[in-house]
Structure 1
């Protein structure tokens, strides 16, 4: 690339001398020169040639001297690197120029070998600055894209190496899939400004919870959110993180519902499905668009577990695959679900808080479920007794209704 140099000096012979001394570099396209006789003419020339890379200016000139020109150059947004030239005995002005931002200086009479070396050094410095700015701009763009998906600290770590960290690869991951009940009806009835406020607050709050657990927001599609763990960075405890995150998302979603209910808005419950397994994970956007996401059966299973909540009456449904990987998992079995499009059942669980897990009702549920799983005829009275004491428990009611309708066992076909 040709470097363009603006030489500002009122000596009439300087232009011819410079072009003669740099004729080889000009011929080879390494440099090109523009000349001006004073500071005002230099500013006019810069307006016509904003691509100028370097300014070489004398100090003592008519109309506008080199120091005034230097001050104007430093005021502009595109600060030009400048070499000042002055008489050897004029060190006071040279010192002022350096304090005003000049990159280097030369003394008169000009030694052209010294001028060439100083120009080369300055152009290298300019190129280094440009490369640093380019890298910074790339990092900022990467960080802006990554911040949509990852927690702030993780986004900072990934920004410098986005290509390496987000390349498409098979990974073992945990997936959370969330959805809101009755959201379509809300869209059809709510005013646009209210819907915008609702959804923005909801997604922002849910994202904050995900980032607090160092999860990755892979997709936000309307009211649905897809979250990944163990991607893009390794998280040995990814299953534990995912279930803890799911429970906090549930708590946040319920608190959000209550806040808006107090304002007269009936916002639906957040349903959550969690599963783990292999998936194809990475940036599928190519060079022009960043879209860090995951594909595969693991993602589909998490989405179908989310949908199973509607059938079961629960708000969180996690697979046995992830439950068994969680340290000290607390939850109760839901049943063996044959998800839509599947032929083999998947054991599912409802995660519980420590207090709920320790409550007598949970152990009573476990006993009733064991009877149901074994085909014991006492399963129905066991669930009936639970409904009598815990009528608000949707899962207990679900199993009792199944039994009253003649169902047996814990295998359930979901459509």
Structure 2
């Protein structure tokens, strides 16, 4: 059943209500139109304050208390969605011109030709219908934009909003950099902490990490509990995706360390965020069909990033990135970790630990790299080199990891993480 159109007629002539009702009786009986009446502008505004269903106003100009021109001024201020058709005599063209300048949609002249009035009403209602449809589409677009902003950076949202090509169903194979995060100790915390504390902690943590990802033009693909998956280089091109992902990882690391310190002061102990980063080709796109939307990525490059995140548990590092990522970054700041044998991989993945400027200045990076070269060459001198480094940097887990391996007889950088 179609919606009944409600029209407010504002006129002080006593016979107008009867004439309008008689002329449009068929439309009224069918429920297509419904008319309400006011004798002047004051009564019209009172009625509109109580009745939000009025779609259009048909108003005379010359009326007591408040004339049609004054009513127009109030309608433009208080009821901007309404469209007003003014009624005036042939000889009153000055008032008609003023009414149109004040926002009247159209006009009819007195004496009223009801066929003209009916045509004008239909034209106005057709415009209103089109206007409401455009408004609905705009609202949907704004809702879609708001939804996109929860997953993509502002730059990506703008690019997707400007084109219809960005998020079409289906996928494509493309190179990108993938980042995985995991907050250590969170599962244990959930089991031993009040729900309201967990909700506050998790919401602010996810929001903080997501903001950092967006600041580096990354895309949040998944949030599973405290773990997050992000992609750099999709859905829009991002030539510096590898460098952006590593810069993002370093900022997330700094954020988490400060975040954990803040919560520790409240008596809540959190672990660090482990991060894995890898660059490679994957199939990226929309999956799930019409009933479910999932913008995600599939491929070995994605799996390697997830495995590198887990590798931090054994290595003692907080960030682990692959050689394929490092090769795309000019002046990479960091140190080699080793050749990692990861679950599901036939070969090894050469991994690095990116370091901030502050971390680099706190470490004897040259001595570490020299010790690592000795270890890679199978030189027994690596043991002594790492022992000396541990003496200098007793709080460096990666150096201690290599020392323990070398003391156990492993004089190489082949680290088997394929079995949990």
Return the TM-score normalized by structure 1: 0.83
Inter-CA distance 401–42: structure 2 relative to 1 (3 Å threshold): closer
- Deviation per CA, 1:193-227: give whole Å up to 9, x if none: 22222222222221222122121122222111111
Give the Cα–Cα distance (whole angstroms) in 1 for the partners of residues 293 and 71 of structure 2. Answer: 44
Matched, 1:343 2:346: yes
Q: Does 1:363 align with 2:376?
A: no
Give the aligned partner of residue 208 of structure 2.
205
CA contact (8 A) 2:175 2:233 kept: yes
What is the 5 A alignment of 1:6-405? 6=7, 8=9, 10-11=15-16, 12-13=18-19, 32-35=32-35, 50=53, 54-58=56-60, 79-90=81-92, 94=96, 101-111=103-113, 114-115=116-117, 118-119=120-121, 121-161=123-163, 163-167=164-168, 168-170=170-172, 171-284=174-287, 290-354=293-357, 356-357=359-360, 361-405=364-408
For 2:7 and 2:260, locate their aligned partners in 1 and report how far apart those are by CA, in whole Å: 66
Query: How far did residue 236 of structure 1 move?
Result: 0.5
Does the 8 Å contact 1:5/1:56 carry over to 2? no
Over residues 252-271 of structure 1, what are the superposed CA-to-partner deviations in whole Å (9 max), with x where a residue is unaligned?
11111222223332111111
Whether the 8 Å contact between 2:171 and 2:286 is mirrored in structure 1 is no
Moved more, 211-220 or 2-11: 2-11
Distance 1:3 1:354, change over 3 A: same
The DSSP-based 3-state class of the residue aligned with 1:408 is coil
- Please identify, of 139-148 and 309-318, the stretch whose mean Cα deviation from structure 2 is larger: 139-148
Per the normalisation by structure 2, the TM-score is 0.82
Are the aligned partners of 2:311 and 2:320 in contact in 1 as well (CA < 8 Å)? yes
Relative distance call for 1:234 and 1:300 in structure 2 (3 A) is: same
Following superposition, the deviation at residue 45 of structure 1 comes to: 12
In 2, the alpha carbon distance for the partners of 1:411 and 1:176 equals 23
* 1:307 Cα deviation after fit: 0.7
Worse-superposed segment, 269-278 or 376-385: 376-385
1:57-107 CA-partner distances (Å, limit 9, x unpaired): 556799999789878977876843221223334567656765775322111
Tell me how far 1:321 sits from its aligned partner. Answer: 0.9
| Unaligned residue ranges in structure 2 (runs of 5+) | none
Distance 2:171 2:380 in 1: 50
CA distance in 2, matches of 1:331, 1:34: 75
Once the two structures are overlaid, the 10-residue window that deviates more, 284-293 or 299-308, is: 284-293
Residue aligned with 1:165, SS = coil
Q: 1:86, 1:107 within 8 Å by CA — same for their partners in 2?
A: yes
Deviations 1:238-281 (A, max 9, x none): 10111111111111111112222233321111111001112232
Per-residue deviation at 1:184? 1.0
Pairs aligned (count): 405
Deviations 1:114-171 (A, max 9, x none): 546644653453244224312320221111101111223432443354x521234222
**Gapped regions of structure 1 (runs ≥ 5):** none
Kindly provide the CA deviation profile for residues 345-388 of structure 1, in whole angstroms up to 9, marking residues without a partner as x.
11111112346547772222222212222222222222222222
TM-aligned CA distance change 1:185 to 1:360, over 3 Å: closer
Moved more, 95-104 or 167-176: 95-104
Counterparts of 2:36 and 2:363, CA distance in 1: 91
Q: CA deviation at 1:38?
A: 5.2
- Equivalent residue of 2:165, what SS? helix
Q: Distance in 1 between matches of 2:206 and 2:217?
A: 16
Give SS of 2:142's match.
Answer: helix
2:178–2:279 Cα contact (<8 Å) kept? yes
